[in-house]
Amino acid sequence: MKVAIIGSGGREHAICKILNRSKKLEKIFCIPGNAGTSSIAENINLNLENFDEIKNFVLNNKIELVVVGPEKPLVEGIVDYLEKYGIKVFGPNKLASKLEGSKIFTKKICQKFNIPTAKFGIFENEKDALEFLKESNHPIVIKADNLASGKGVYICENIEESKLAVIEIFNGKFGQAKNVLIEEFLRGEEMSFFVISDGVSIKNFGTAQDHKRVLDGDKGKNTGGMGAYSPSRLMSNELENKVIKKIIQPTLKALLDLNTKYKGFLYAGLMIVNDEPFLIEYNVRMGDPECQTILPKLKTDLLEIFLACCNKSLSKTNIEWQNKKSMCVVLCSKGYPEKFKKNIEIKNLDKIQLDENNFLFHAGTINKNDKVFSSGGRVLNFVSISDTFEDTKKKVYSRLDELNWTGGFCRRDIGYKVIN
């Protein structure tokens, strides 16, 4: 079977890598891919905003399944567009993707269906938002309503920080923002909770804890994610049942009331407060770097899972996992998440020892004349799996240090909450 993966990050490299284990697979195309995907897939440099161009390529090459990695094409309706032409696509449609595309859409669903979430206010202009902040307690959370690659969230400790956040959002730091969401600050611990759905049934797809802040000790600015470990240390059968019953199921019911079904990965970003889950936000795809952290532990054929979702037969599919701990550390370009240099050569990649328990996923890289160069803020993802978090951390950092890339940096404390 021929499969196309849409995207160019570490998540898409991980999907390619794990998908490549399938005996049913004939060939993978990655659109557009990166230097890492080129070793297991044929990279195709197409414009992800040109759905017609993608459709023509898929049909002309007799591709039987398209898997959409990133959120932007999902929110813009690529699934709806390709399915019109009879193309099988793994991912939610445009309406379902509003769960990520509009934080306010999700908040209104929470309000209507009594889904536990932080108290919030919606503001359509800068003046009203700034006026509201004068009477607000801090810390407070301020979010851009639109997509922001995981960076449109401010946790503000004082009035000066919150005013700056509102001004930056309304002045287009994350694109055109028609609304700003201001939320109460919940004191607890975050957890990433994943399910997969075929529109009829759901299956759990792992948990993780991301590390969003750029500096050790969860300091500094928010990023797309500096690393993760899986499973979350907070997970229990009781908590899992609460998340499904109080958050996931009511959300899918809300979509059914809007005459749509959810097909694909659904990622609930949660805050756990006194053993109770609160929904912070939804993402309509696997997280990045959580995907790279979770997928290597999968025992079941990933292609079979994708096909089961597209064929509405997920309930008949038994998803099995290795009972292991995993950890991902993200190597970033110096300066990220602010200004950073691109096109810096990355040497010594061939010296890193990789096997069935140690992985290297490319996130922001390109090939030039048989050499690998950086092309983004988050550049490489080092992943290891083992029986203990202590051993996993030792393995992942030892491989990262083998690279010794002077153009980058990483957090050195990924997993600090689970390793005493």
pLDDT value at residue 135: 83
| DSSP of 300-311 | S-HHHHHHHHHT
From CA 292, how far away is CA 347, in angstroms rounded? 22
Query: How does pLDDT run across 126-167, given as a tens digit for each residue?
Result: 999 998 898 888 999 998 886 655 567 888 999 999 999 999
Dihedral sign (CA 239, 70, 333, 144): negative
Cβ–Cβ under 8 Å, residues 84 and 108: no
From CA 86, how far away is CA 299, in angstroms rounded? 30
pLDDT value at residue 343: 95
Which of 121, 140, 141, 138 lies closest to 129 in space, CA to CA?
121
By CB atoms closer than 10 A (0-12, 13-18, 19+), residue 60 is exposed
pLDDT value at residue 318: 97
CA torsion angle 270 146 114 158 (round to 10): 70
pLDDT value at residue 144: 86
| Ordered domains of the chain (ranges, CATH) | 2-92 (3.40.50.20), 119-184 (3.30.1490.20), 189-316 (3.30.470.20), 325-409 (3.90.600.10)
From CA 29, how far away is CA 11, in angstroms rounded? 15
pLDDT value at residue 151: 60
The structure tokens 């000790």 sit at: 217
DSSP assignment, residue 355? B
pLDDT value at residue 81: 98
Q: Which amino acid is at 10?
A: G
Consecutive sets of 10 residues in the chain, 420 residues long: mean pLDDT of each? 98 98 98 97 97 98 98 97 98 97 92 94 90 89 75 86 91 77 93 97 97 94 94 96 98 97 98 96 96 98 98 97 98 96 94 95 96 97 98 97 94 93
Geometric angle at alpha carbon 145, from 143 and 146, rounded to 5°: 120
For 85, 174, 182, 212, the CA distances from 141, given in Å and listed in that order, are: 42, 16, 6, 14
pLDDT value at residue 152: 77
